[in-house]
Amino acid sequence: MCKRKLAQTMTHLIYIRHMLVKHWNRLPREMVDAPSLETFKQKKGFDKPKQLQHGAINTI
């Protein structure tokens, strides 16, 4: 029983690794090469709220 559980766990880990690499390879090169996510956000302008990005003024 223990060997079966180990085999299931290993299969699961291999699947998780495969999915992680698949999604990693889809990331833009700028994001992969950025030293941090915060640096990437600042370069691309994601650090500002959407209302401010487009110059819209939120009046409530």
Higher pLDDT pick, 1 / 17: 17
Asked whether residue 8 carries a pLDDT value surpassing 80, the answer given is: yes
Please check whether residue 10 is in contact with residue 18, taking contact to mean a CB–CB distance below 8 angstroms: no
When pLDDT is averaged across residues 15-35 and rounded to a whole number, the result is 88
Express as a percent the part of the chain with pLDDT over 90: 25
Model confidence pLDDT, tens digit, residues 32-49 = 888 888 887 787 777 665
Closest CA to 43 of 25, 51, 52, 35: 35
The per-type count for the chain, helices as H runs and strands as E runs, is: 4, 0
Query: What confidence score (pLDDT) does residue 50 get?
Result: 56
